[in-house]
Amino acid sequence: MALIVDADVFLSDIALITGKSISTLSKSVSVRIFRSFFGISPETCVQVLYIIRNIVPCTFKTAHLLSGCMFLKVYSTEFVHSGLAKVDPKTFRQWAWIAINALSSLKLVCERKHRLLMYTD
């Protein structure tokens, strides 16, 4: 998968869920909102996407990883999640579980002071 992203790409996905433009929010507020929805920092999302890029289908996008993270972080029904993500429940379920299965293939995940240690074998 030749997907090149940075943390700002993930931060821009906040606007889709909250309805607020990130240009009106400070960086620290954007990151705090991001973590509250997904349980992971945008920088860590970049690293995770880089590691799982060979596990997921070539049509996998940043929003799909966020769907899986949101499903794991926010305990609710898939209808609520799909409403937040503004997609069909079947689409949300499909991509969220692809992301979750890819995340489960990671052998070690440890986030400390913006340092992430992960590997896949």
Separation between Cα atoms, residue 94 and residue 6, nearest integer Å = 24
- The single residue listed with the structure tokens 């979750």 is 100
Q: What is the CATH number of the domain that holds 72?
A: 1.10.472
- 1 domain residue, yes or no: no
Domain of residue 20, residue span: 7-117
Q: How many domains does the chain have?
A: 1
Separation between Cα atoms, residue 74 and residue 38, nearest integer Å = 8
pLDDT in tens, the chain (121 residues): 455 688 888 888 777 776 667 677 788 888 888 888 888 888 888 888 888 888 899 899 888 999 999 899 888 888 998 888 888 999 999 999 999 999 988 776 555 555 555 555 5
Task: Determine which helix (DSSP H) or strand (DSSP E) holds 43, and give its type and residue range.
Answer: helix 42-52
- 62 domain residue, yes or no: yes
Residue type, 16: L
Task: Determine which helix (DSSP H) or strand (DSSP E) holds 72, and give its type and residue range.
Answer: helix 62-73
- The single residue listed with the structure tokens 């880089």 is 50
